[in-house]
Structure formats: structure tokens, C-alpha cells
Amino acid sequence: MMNEPLTWSELGELYDKRNPSGAAKTLPMNRVFQWAQRQPDIELQDDGTLILVTALEGGDG
């Protein structure tokens, strides 16, 4: 099952949670997008969208 692409609002909320400045709404969207690309749990798709990758429960079988 594929995760839905993140909206700009969701991406801004993630940025604010992970950065003490909490300033996503005052930054250029490109800067927040570049930040997201460096996050290990956010993946850039071929179509240019970003998805939040979540670990599957019970992965050890």
C-alpha cells in the first residue's frame, strides 16, 4: 500500500514539529521542500511528490 503524497500544509506541520523555529509558513516553499528531501522518512517520488515513509509493524516476522 502506497502512502498518499504530503500536502504543503502537512509538510509545513512536519517542519514546524522538527525545527525549533517553527517557521515553515514564513519560509519559501522551495526551502521547506529541500529540507524534506534530506529527511530519512520522507521520500521524493518520480512524479515530484513527497511521501512520509512509515515502518511496518511486525517486520521481523
pTM comes to: 0.78
DSSP 4: P
Domain residue spans of the chain: 8-52
pLDDT of residue 61: 45
Enumerate the H helices of the chain as residue ranges: 8-18, 29-37
Q: Which residues pair with 50 in a beta bridge?
A: 44
pLDDT at residue 44, as a whole number:
96
What does the pLDDT look like over 13-61, one tens digit per residue? 999 999 988 789 899 999 999 999 999 999 999 999 999 998 655 555 4
